[in-house]
Amino acid sequence: SAVISQKPSRDICQRGTSLTIQCQVDSQVTMMFWYRQQPGQSLTLIATANQGSEATYESGFVIDKFPISRPNLTFSTLTVSNLSPEDSSIYLCSVGQIYEQYFGPGTRLTVT
Amino acid sequence: GENVEQHPSTLSVQEGDSAVIKCTYSDSASNYFPWYKQELGKRPQLIIDIRSNVGEKKDQRIAVTLNKTAKHFSLHITETQPEDSAVYFCAASLSGSARQLTFGSGTQLTVLP
């Protein structure tokens, strides 16, 4: 399976600021996704990062709050904007192979 | 959209016993069902999956069964070991490929030595 890395692994941010999370894959992949995992909860899909076009957002997630870039087939960024304490979560990228989906190590965000 | 329900939310078993976790899904078009194991502070890891053209799949001590008529699938772990302790998530995919995974709520499995 692909090797997936994320930066930063964790961060503490102040309310009202933004955090950009990077996801890097060691091989070209067709599909990349961004998930949120709130403390003690399951995984919720934020959006599908499409190479060369706008991301596809799930219900309840909007581009102004979670802008996503995907400049090539090995890299994507997720920005969480205008942070509030409710944004404190783990954010994970994942990549899709033919069927399987594999996750990056996650970014733990704490908003103070 | 798809809805996946998972039971139980917590499960404790004695080492060596079997554990069963069950999930139901709502959309009959779903045709790919993976299971993930997430240890504390780590990423979810794919442990086994099943596609809709198969009723059962085994990998050593882990097996998954699928009943498409009833729209439910289950994870079976035999001869449990303390290192099996983790949160397990089921998921379902509408398209049958690695996209649009909808996750269940998770099961905290504790294997008691």
pLDDT by residue (tens digit) across A25-77? 999 988 899 999 999 999 999 999 988 888 999 999 999 999 999 999 999 99
Residue type (1 letter), B51: R
> What are the tokens at A102?
């594999």
Is residue A44 within 8 A of residue A52, CB to CB? The reply is no
* Whole-Å CA distances, A37 to A26, A61, A111, B76: 24, 14, 15, 25
* Structure confidence by residue, pLDDT tens digits, B7-17: 999 999 999 99
- Distance of alpha carbon A44 from alpha carbon A89, whole angstroms: 11
Residues of B in contact with A102 (CB under 8 A): 46
- Contact criterion met (CB < 8 Å) for A42 and B1: no
DSSP secondary-structure letter at A58? P
Question: Which among A95, A99, A104 has the least Cβ separation from residue B32?
Answer: A99
* B90: chain A residues, CB-CB within 8 Å: none
Q: Do A104 and B44 touch (CB under 8 A)?
A: no
Residue whose entry in the numeric block shows the structure tokens 């240890």: B39
Interface residue ranges in chain B relative to chain A, Cβ cutoff 8 Å: 1, 32, 34, 36, 42-46, 49, 51, 89, 93, 96-106
pLDDT per residue as tens digits for the range B21-38: 999 999 998 989 999 999
Higher pLDDT, B111 or B100: B111
Tell if the CB–CB gap between B98 and A104 is shorter than 8 Å. Answer: no
CA–CA distance, B92 with B103 (Å, rounded to integer): 7
What count of other Cβ atoms lies within 10 Å of the Cβ of residue B93?
Answer: 26
CB environment A38-50: b (16+ within 10 A), e (fewer): eeeebbbbbbbbe
Rounded CA separation A70/A32 (Å): 9
Share of chain B above pLDDT 70, in %: 96
